[in-house]
Amino acid sequence: MLDKLVNAFGPSGNENEVRELIKKEIESYVDKIEVDAMGNLYAIKGENPEILVCAHMDEVGFMVVEINEDGTLKFLPVGGIDIRTVLGKRVKVGRNKIPGVIGSKAVHLLKPEEEKALPQWENLYMDCGFTKKDEAQKEISPGDYAVFDTEYTENGEYLIGKAFDDRIGCYITLELAKKNFPFPIAFVFTVQEEVGLRGASVVGNKLPVKIGLILEATAAGDFPQEKDLGRFPAPGKGPVITRLDKRCICDKELVDLLISIAEENGIPYQIKKPTVGGTDAGKIHLSREGVRCAVISVPARYIHSPVSVIHKKDVEHTMKLAAKFLERTGGSR
């Protein structure tokens, strides 16, 4: 299932394919499934859950904004993408997933000043093999989305693919939904996290929960510069527990509980030290009269790029830590 989730086409605002995959996989394990006007998917066990588990379905990607006369496509990023990572990369474009390449000037054609400057989005284009505008218009329209064309693969203990942020969170949430927790619980898969936590803005208002557990991928910094070790988490060293980031200060009691559970059960863990980024907790914790939130993340190298890398053990340990956390918090109702 993880390979299907990672390979799926699902940029912010166009998560339909991911949502249908999840819905089909989870429906036999829950009592009720709903989709709200934003596109968030709610899979609920029992009545009146006070705990939710949340992961976002969307990935960073692109939107076509114009078709040039020569059939190439002008585009802009959807979500935070470092422009240096996209040059020469393969993409899938539009409703028919037309294969293409992100093109720019060849190095032989660059002026000296261009060699030292970062490329600009307005100077890049997608080449899908069309030679005329009307030819491209038969397959693609302005407003169509594109994503990186990177197939999921495994290399020993490492998993490689696009969109681990946050399909790995979706995968773990799905697996948790298959467990028999003896209390009501809501499993929520949100949209548009990468463009401002927009789907999560409505989740906490729809579900009057008391505790939210957000499952994410977070940037690993162990590679390639050794000096980053100790500041950023590293794959293979356990799930990452967030104390705070730019959008949320996690509930201290829940953070302490996560640490205690990890230590009691021999689960390796890391603390997210830099206060960078944000998760759906940033919106959910502000819902209604407030929701106590905790965040567990799988460390991933090179997120928001054409390919990222995670460690199998981190996935297993994150799942175990999340399950033990739910048992403790749900059992104290």
φ/ψ (deg, to 5) at 212? -125, 130
Residue 140 corresponds to which tokens in the numbers above? 């693609």
Query: Residue ranges of the alpha helices (H) in 162-248?
Result: 164-177, 200-206
DSSP H or E stretch at residue 319: helix 312-330
Contact 295, 250 (CB under 8 A): yes
Residue 264 corresponds to which tokens in the numbers above? 């009691």
Query: 304: which DSSP letter?
Result: T
Of 193, 253, 263, 316, the catalytic one is 193
Q: CA 94, CA 28: separation in Å to the nearest integer? A: 31
Residues paired with 77 in a beta bridge: 62
Alpha-carbon distances of 184 from 45, 225, 268, 307, 318, rounded to whole Å? 5, 45, 28, 37, 21
Q: Is 193 an active-site residue? A: yes
Which active-site residues does the annotation give? Answer: 193
